[in-house]
Amino acid sequence: MKLTHYTIILLQVVVFTCASPALAKSPQKAAIQIILDNAYHKFKKQNPGENADYIPALAKVDPTYFGLALVTTDGKIYSAGDVSQPFSIQSISKVFTLSLAMEQNGPQVIVDKIGVNATGLAFNSVTAIEQNKARSVNPLVNAGAIAAVSLLDGKNEKAKWSGLSAWYNKFANRKLNVLEDVYQSETDTNGHNRAIAELLTSYDRFYGDVDTNLAVYTRQCSVAVTAKDLAVMASVFANNGIHPLTKKRLMSSDNVSRVLAVMTTAGLYENSGQWAYQVGLPAKSGVGGGIIAVSPGQFSVAVFSPRLDSAGNSIRAQQAIDFIAEQLNANIF
């Protein structure tokens, strides 16, 4: 939030607060809330795209949900729309699993055993593995994300899940549950991810039992979050590893910058370059319709809207975050 742009927002707020004296005491608070409200109203009526349907439970989610939340690094929370509606975190989970894999194994292991370059291909691409001689992908596509689970501590499925879910809970600052119908639906239709894990195993690029790690990965994708939860979770990345609400350090700042780097190059799959060009914030999408974006040192934002583009990224969430980032002059480039 640069000073010049801030001045413009403050002017808008001065006009707004003439009619609302209660807000006059807190212009910054009012400015951010106005921006979220404006984004909500601007994009509420247009709702293009389609729900994901390759996981049957996702096709049934009401496509009209639209929730926006923003958390500043000083721990203030702003929201608009359906911010308390639970939905499955899906691929956004990958950044939190990557964080734990990094904290447990160190950042170099991720480079050596998974890879960190963008594949430029779809989230569930088998070709990405085949066409790279080193079988190197990245932890934000399905192949690398399932491999990241295989690197986590825990001698069996229960132990692994217990460590991973406790890690997610720390970011959310509350206990998150699993949407069992989504877990079941995805488990019943998981042939493609199983094929990916088997293929990686055949190339010695998978680090444990396929069934165990696939079950944990599928469970992590089925975790229920709200837009507010996601903004709170992502705020740890915005605040360099320290949770803005609990003030506890969850990860090293060195690892945060590496997670943000992979989000920048691969967070929106094959559209990541276009996103960086247009919006300029590290981000991660999920086929459940959520997207998180991080403005380092400033804020995190999360938007939920189930309808996706052909790459698997929520269309309205992209539009809303683009608008909010632009209003807050947040492009890091």
Binding residues: 91, 142, 186, 193, 217, 269, 287
For the segment 80-109, give every residue that binds ligand GLU (CB under 6 A): 90-91
- Using the rule CB under 6 A, is 33 a contact of ligand GLU? no
C-alpha pair distances (Å), 171 with each of 130, 229, 236: 35, 9, 7
Contact 325, 331 (CB under 8 A): yes
Rounded to a whole number of angstroms, the minimum distance from the CB of residue 312 to ligand GLU is 5
Question: Per residue in 59-88, is it b (16+ CB within 10 Å) or e — as a string?
Answer: eebebebbbbbbbbbeebebbbbbbebbbb
Query: Minimal CA–CA distance to 140: which of 326, 42, 45, 270?
Result: 270
Q: Is 142 in the site for ligand GLU (CB under 6 A)?
A: yes
User: In the complex with ligand GLU, which residue's Cβ is closer, 79 or 222?
Assistant: 222
193 binds ligand GLU (CB under 6 A): yes
Site string for ligand GLU, 51-70 (x = CB under 6 A): --------------------
Scan residues 105-124 and list those touching ligand GLU (CB under 6 A): 123-124
Residue 127, phi then psi, degrees to nearest 5: -55, -35
- Cβ–Cβ < 8 Å for 24, 17: yes
For residue 5, the minimal CB distance to ligand GLU (Å) is 33
Pick the closer one to ligand GLU by CB: 31 or 287: 287
Site mask for ligand GLU (CB under 6 A), range 237-276, x = bound: ----------------------------------------
Token pair, residue 250, equals: 């969850």
Q: Least CB distance from residue 314 to ligand GLU, whole Å? A: 10
- Per-residue HEC secondary structure of 272-309 comes to HHHHHHHCCCCEEECCCCEEEEEECCCEEEEEECCCEC
The yes or no reply on residue 213 touching ligand GLU (CB under 6 A) is no
Contact of 97 with 246, CB cutoff 8 Å: no
**Residue 312 touching ligand GLU (CB under 6 A):** yes
Annotated binding site for substrate: 91, 142, 186, 193, 217, 269, 287
Q: Which of 286, 289, 296, 306 binds ligand GLU (CB under 6 A)?
A: 286
Question: DSSP string spanning 116-151?
Answer: -S---S-TT-SHHHHHSTT----TTSHHHHHHHHHT
Supply angle C-alpha 72, 76, 80, rounded to 5: 90
Closer CB to ligand GLU, 287 or 294, in the complex: 287
Please report whether residue 287 would count as binding ligand GLU according to CB under 6 A. Answer: yes
Binding footprint of ligand GLU on the chain (CB under 6 A):
90-91, 123-124, 142, 186, 193, 221, 286-287, 312
